[in-house]
Amino acid sequence: MDIDEAISGRRSVREYTAQPVDERAIRRLIDAAVRAPNAVNQQPWTFTVVRDPGVLDRISHDAKAHMLATMPPSPNADHFRSLLNDPNFQIFYRAPVLILISALAQGPWIIEDCALAAQNLMLAAHAAGLGTCWIGFAQSFLNTSDGKKALGVPDAWAPVAPIIVGHPKAAPPPVARKEPVVRWVG
């Protein structure tokens, strides 16, 4: 698959088959992630691979409660609240794998570094026939002490990008993009 196909064909996948993702495939995704540009070549990222469905269920439950208790007002708040109050909604869509990209320590560019690694990982997954979705709903809980404990993540680490991975049930339809605002100077 060429780069244009990978970029334009990738979609957030929210329905997965029960098929596990093999370890070699996961390692290839991490290998793509660490090729990302990163500030001062610090490569601050770490990868926590979670394949235990019981752990994912528990984190989903606790992350939903945490979001409901702490969510700031926003235009999407009502929609989020009704999703998070639905007992059948699992924030990880029952994907077989979660890869949490965290930084080893706080620093001025860790969000950028880990997000670029995440994008590489998601594009590589798509090129390999796998689906992914960034799960922002997990972020605030995973950044608490209880959230880190739930995954055995050291307290000093900073979770940035929770990415689910699995075999897509079907190819999701394209999601429209707005016309970009572009200003030319010179």
Ligand X SMILES: Cc1cc2nc3c(=O)[nH]c(=O)nc-3n(C[C@H](O)[C@H](O)[C@H](O)COP(=O)(O)O)c2cc1C
Is position 135 an interface residue for ligand X (rule: CB under 6 A)? yes
Edge-to-edge, what's the strand order for the sheet holding 97-103?
45-50, 97-103, 158-166, 131-134
Measured N-to-C along each axis, helices 53-70 and 77-84 cross at an angle, to the nearest 10 degrees, of 140
Q: Count the site residues for ligand X by CB under 6 A.
A: 9
Which listed residue (47, 92, 137, 141) binds ligand X by CB under 6 A?
137
| Distance between CA atoms of residues 170 and 135, nearest Å | 19
Which of residues 23 and 85 has its CB atom nearest to ligand X in the complex? Answer: 85
Shortest spacing between CB 11 and ligand X, in angstroms: 4
- Where in 48-77 is the site for ligand X (CB under 6 A)? none
Between residue 5 and residue 24, which ones bind ligand X under the rule CB under 6 A? 11-12, 14
Which region among 29-37, 95-103, 132-140, 146-154 touches ligand X (by CB under 6 A)?
132-140
Q: How far is the CB of 39 from ligand X (least distance, A)?
A: 19
Closer by beta carbon to ligand X, 12 or else 42: 12
Q: Enter the tokens of residue 181.
A: 């605002």
- Choose, by CB under 6 A, the member of 175, 176, 181, 185 that binds ligand X: 175
Please identify, using beta-carbon distances, which residue of 93 and 155 lies nearer to ligand X: 93
Under the criterion CB under 6 A, does residue 136 sit at the interface with ligand X? yes
Closest distance of CB 79 from ligand X, Å: 11
- Binding residue for ligand X (CB under 6 A) from 123, 133, 158, 160? 133
Binding site for ligand X (CB under 6 A): 11-12, 14, 133-137, 175
